[in-house]
Amino acid sequence: MTGTVRTTAELDPHRRKLLFRAWHRGTREMDLIIGGFADAHIIDFTDEELAAFEHVCQASDQDLMTWIVGAVPVSAEYDTPMFHRIKSFHSHLVPINR
């Protein structure tokens, strides 16, 4: 079970591959966060946005989770408009208070 609700029929091969990767990251929590965002936006990404999304997907699940919930500051390499789009898409996540 992938969790995706998007059909891949209308996607080009690169977007299909990236959508698959978004839903098969390694932890279910990040599958839901990254995959859910991809379901909602991947079809409308420009080439530049697609590259930016692919870059964010290269970060580890652990790093992404701690950045998204605000447990640690985002690494400068990933502190990008695309990362912030993903984070705001999931703004219902509760930050960790330390």
The more confident residue out of 90 and 55 is: 55
**Residue 10 amino acid letter:** E
Q: Is the pLDDT of residue 42 over 80?
A: yes
The number of distinct structural domains making up the chain is: 1
The more confident residue out of 15 and 2 is: 15
* In-domain check, residue 17: yes
Domain holding 63, by residue range, is 13-89
CATH no. for residue 28? Answer: 1.10.150.250
- Supply the pLDDT for residue 34: 95
* In-domain check, residue 98: no
Q: Is the pLDDT of residue 19 over 50?
A: yes
Residue 85: count of CB within 10 angstroms of its CB: 15
- Supply the pLDDT for residue 44: 93
> Distance between CA atoms of 50 and 85, rounded to whole angstroms?
13
Q: Which of 65, 53, 55 is nearest to 26 (CA)?
A: 65
* In-domain check, residue 78: yes
